[in-house]
Structure 1
């Protein structure tokens, strides 16, 4: 069984620790300034005032990845806290290569959604990750489904680098298929942001194995695979949305450069680290019945995700691509987390999973 103790927490230097209170004060001052001047913001910023405040808060966060990991809860702590707050019993297990799997819902459910969280490969999942899926499977199961989520805890950067996280992602799927005996037809694979990268890379691995990772052979296709705002390309210079949405989104090009640099750690990108690099023909034989790709119109990642969706759909017609109007990156987890009516992309994911499983 997995234990719910802190993981991937660096020991900060004295300077890094001393900087934290000042960085918090600076962020608060910036947020107050944004609130005061936000009434006069231009069309370059979000239309919704609350979104404007929250995107600024996330976008201008001054903390390093190491400081984030030190001051925030790690994945097992977030999972245990969210489950207990909802009156649910947390249950996890250890996976190969120093990873864990956490169950949301009945681990004996017939059908399973294997999920990889985002956070630039450098940050633990948010409580909104867990709460979103607790709510999702409750709604689906209340309507006659029998679904559980298997949530992967992979090793964050800089504690591990590529392809460790992809290897852990493949092992999570291998466990569900080989160790629990579920048919691929009863399994959906997915993730958001960096986790969407892992979901698409894992799907690619099924038909075109990574040379450093043990192949996983499927006799039948998965029920589906989805990428929620998947970070499929690390180039931050040549995409229009990187400029057009730079003041509308929660992410920054500079932040993406730092995160991808830690993930690759000097290694050249390839077809698995950046799935959009893979030739179009590699997607023609994807081992899944359906693919879903979701993105917000206000994301800096909009252009690369749109290009990726067009490439995949051209050779794999059973691909759905949905754009959430005026939505930022992973809006259901950040600026619109917990909103009762949900988001366009979040609601589409729920409908799509219900149709697949």
Structure 2
């Protein structure tokens, strides 16, 4: 199958609107800096975090995916910038269907984490993705482990639509299995937000293949799967959407903006494509998760994130059919806190600490 088309440059109208949007974001930031001193309990406790999250929410709501992509380096570009900044040698592998895999750490390490980044299928990885996972594996390897990260760059919506990203995610796992010769017991899948969606969808594909994607047979189960604040459904229902809308870094309405771009295809009758078991893991029949090909699964969530209700409900059901599940909640923490809030907090997050502990016990 051919690779997805390249994104088209912004039109003149999009560029003009981008300028207006940036001015609007600056104005909102100034207002937040001034009024944030008087915020109540519905907002983050840390002032810096309050300002950061307000700016992020405004940016994500005001700008389109294409405009944001024009401002932010691509995942591959961000990886190159990070590695050169750390004086490390970049190591990138071209994968099938237009994807790429970027090594963080020793590519010959015994254990490998295949990682899918978040961003609503619209945004690339951010610098803190690379920084956090580089620090994580450095800490693990210093403690005597031998692990690296294979960070996957997949195509973004709205240029590329479902199931392109899932096909690319599966191609990354296929590469690690077939081209590097690793056993499934030496491989972990992981991802945050939309990447957590891909990690779960890839796991589901191993036992219930997506009809449009070639099956992937394995000799045994994966060592583990990490679903970090996974985007398990595209609904805006749930108490956390209301209760955490001024605490989290992502606004509730982003679901309505980005999910349709991901599911932009037509169903063959000219109607908007609907979600299915692989695009929204919560739609999979519960019994489909029985016998999932992983030794253990870790779910991470922040209690103050807008996705919490959806994640919490999914995990409680999931545990009934897959007992080897660990579920960790970072109280007072928001969406993928180690990546999107870590620098502002200036300390190790609860979720980041649990991820390190869980990985260390399984490597």
Report the equivalent of 1:151.
Answer: 151
CA distance in 1, matches of 2:164, 2:15: 29
Report the equivalent of 2:269.
Answer: none
Matched, 1:355 2:361: yes
Shift, 1:158, TM fit: 1.1
Report the equivalent of 1:222.
Answer: 222
CA distance in 2, matches of 1:349, 1:95: 27
Report the equivalent of 1:262.
Answer: 261
If the length of structure 1 is used for normalisation, what is the TM-score? 0.95
Matched, 1:284 2:308: no
Gaps of 5+ in 2: 265-271
CA distance in 1, matches of 2:67, 2:345: 29
Matches within 5 A, 1:164-243: 164-236=164-236, 238-243=237-242
- In the alignment, is the contact (CA less than 8 A) between 1:118 and 1:194 conserved in 2? yes
Give me the CA root mean square deviation: 1.3
Shift, 1:9, TM fit: 4.6
Gaps of 5+ in 1: 1-6
- In the alignment, is the contact (CA less than 8 A) between 1:10 and 1:70 conserved in 2? no
- In the alignment, is the contact (CA less than 8 A) between 1:8 and 1:74 conserved in 2? no
CA distance in 1, matches of 2:341, 2:142: 27
Report the equivalent of 1:138.
Answer: 138
- In the alignment, is the contact (CA less than 8 A) between 1:12 and 1:66 conserved in 2? yes
Q: Deviations over 1:76-106 (max 9, x none)?
A: 1100000111111001011010111111111
CA distance in 2, matches of 1:107, 1:259: 34
Shift, 1:26, TM fit: 1.7
- In the alignment, is the contact (CA less than 8 A) between 1:9 and 1:74 conserved in 2? no
Report the equivalent of 2:46.
Answer: 48
Moved more, 250-259 or 118-127: 250-259
Shift, 1:339, TM fit: 5.1
- In the alignment, is the contact (CA less than 8 A) between 2:48 and 2:344 conserved in 1? no
Shift, 1:19, TM fit: 2.5
Q: Deviations over 1:28-80 (max 9, x none)?
A: 12111111111221221112211111110111112211111112111111000
Q: Which of 29, 35, 38 is the matching residue for 1:37? A: 35
If the length of structure 2 is used for normalisation, what is the TM-score? 0.94
- In the alignment, is the contact (CA less than 8 A) between 1:9 and 1:70 conserved in 2? no
CA distance in 2, matches of 1:339, 1:147: 27
Report the equivalent of 2:246.
Answer: 247
CA distance in 2, matches of 1:10, 1:317: 46
Shift, 1:336, TM fit: 2.0
CA distance in 1, matches of 2:310, 2:231: 8
Shift, 1:300, TM fit: 0.6
- In the alignment, is the contact (CA less than 8 A) between 2:184 and 2:220 conserved in 1? yes
Matches within 5 A, 1:256-335: 256-265=255-264, 266-335=272-341
SS in 2 for 1:115: strand
